[in-house]
Amino acid sequence: MISKKMQQALNDQLNAELYAYYTYLSMSAYFEDHNLRGFAAWMRTHSDEEMVHAMKFYDFINERRGRVQLRAIEAPKTDWQSALEAFEDALKHEQHVTALINKLVDLSTEESDYATHSFLQWFVDEQVEEEAVVDDVIQDLKRVGDFGPGLFLLDRELSATTPAADSETPA
Ligand code: OFO
């Protein structure tokens, strides 16, 4: 069992992960619109990962005999001035999620909820990677310049190195 307060907090995080899914999908749509298919694929794959995160919270709440409560998902931003601005937004978003996960860890410690504490460790580690991979693309964008041939080459590189988005139900 989980406390009512923890149930609420985990449902908040479930909503935040669904919002992240929406945000990355919206970024993918932006890049599709600009015919930058490598960036679009990167964002699409990342949106799929966010759905996996959301479902981890969904399953965990159920396993602990809590009640999943799905709520409205805030509409994401739909336009950016450049690829760099989109990725900088993505990094800010990941830093925000890291802060949310850390608050959840604090709550699990306060409540001596060891099972939730253990469950959250995967997310603590994941956020380190999430921030790093977004920052890598930002550094590349700064290096090659945000327009012109450099952007085109980076787009092609991402296209070649991004695994295809998986439309199957996440595990
Ligand atoms: Fe991008 O890590 Fe979940 O939200």
The enclosing domain of 99 has a CATH number of 1.20.1260.10
Residue 114 lies in a domain: yes
Residue 102 lies in a domain: yes
* Closest protein CA for atom 3 of ligand 1: 50
Nearest atom in ligand 1 to 24's CA: 1
Contact 66, 9 (CB under 8 A): no
Q: What is the pLDDT of residues 14-45, one digit of tens each?
A: 999 999 999 999 999 999 999 999 999 999 99
Residue 24 CB neighbours (<10 A) = 24
DSSP labels, 135-165: HHHHHHHHHH-SSHHHHHHHHHHHHHHSPPP
d(CA 162, CA 33) in angstroms, rounded, equals: 19
Tell me, in angstroms, the distance from the centre of ligand 1 to residue 158's CA. 20
Residue 165 lies in a domain: no
> Higher pLDDT residue, 165 or 90?
90
The pocket around ligand 1, CB under 6 angstroms, is made up of: 17, 20, 50, 53, 94, 97, 130
Nearest to 13 by CA among 89, 168, 127: 127
Summary mean pLDDT of the chain: 93
Nearest atom in ligand 1 to 126's CA: 2
Nearest atom in ligand 1 to 50's CA: 3
Number of domains in the chain: 1
What angle separates helix 37-63 from helix 114-144, to the nearest 10 degrees? 170
User: What DSSP state is assigned to residue 111?
Assistant: T
Residue 45 CB neighbours (<10 A) = 17
Residue 168 lies in a domain: no
The model's confidence at residue 54, banded by pLDDT at 50, 70 and 90, is very high
Residue 171 lies in a domain: no
Domain that residue 67 falls in:
4-160
Residue 169 lies in a domain: no
Nearest to 20 by CA among 91, 81, 120, 118: 91
Q: What is the pLDDT of residues 139-162, one digit of tens each?
A: 999 988 767 788 888 888 898 888
**Whole-prediction pTM value?**
0.91
Burial readout 70-97 (b: 16 or more C-beta within 10 A, e: otherwise): eeebeebeeebeebbebbbbbbebbeeb
